[in-house]
Structure 1
């Protein structure tokens, strides 16, 4: 069955992240990548120089810092959009010093 899907994400174009949240973006992006990597490894994937779905190999099973810029940028955008949506929905993000 083919369905027509039209995404309607919440518009966050008016949200400006404060500097302390912008710096949090890289940490979140790295964690997003680690979560993705862990899930892939559990599914039987391993590192390979080129993506091969049959062999379950991907060149992205590397540390976040070793990702190609395009892949790292995807994770950064995901993290930044997540922070923006949290603020757009009226939540506050505060660091608690321990």
Structure 2
């Protein structure tokens, strides 16, 4: 181990409003699309299983077609980002 100890922003006290919670799914889709755009730009393509040598990945598909387990990863990223923004004292307004 290299001694790295993650220290994320404490978001335990943050409660999101329903309006903000509704952003989670859209941001999760955006996260996936951003990731996929970069992968494709780096020469990756769809493949039935992840193969780093062949630059193939099974998640290079539209967000709507991802299995829920993969969507959940993106949802958690979006949710924790929203919570961190609020924990740092910012407001999110339409």
In which range does the TM-score fall when normalised by the shorter chain?
Answer: over 0.9
For normalisation by structure 2, the TM-score amounts to: 0.97
Normalised by the length of structure 1, the TM-score is 0.93
Size of the aligned set, in residue pairs, is: 94
Q: Give the match for residue 15 of structure 1.
A: 14
CA distance in structure 2 between the aligned counterparts of 1:78 and 1:31, rounded to whole angstroms? 11
Q: Does 1:28 align with 2:3?
A: no
Q: How does 1:1-98 map to 2 (within 5 A)?
A: 3-95=2-94
SS at match of 2:93: coil
Could you say what the CA RMSD is over the residues aligned between the two structures, in angstroms?
A: 0.9
Q: 1:69, CA displacement in angstroms?
A: 1.0
Gaps of 5+ in 1: none
Higher relative contact order (CA 8 A, sep 6+): 2
Moved over 3 A (4+): none
Give the gaps of 5 or more residues in structure 2: none
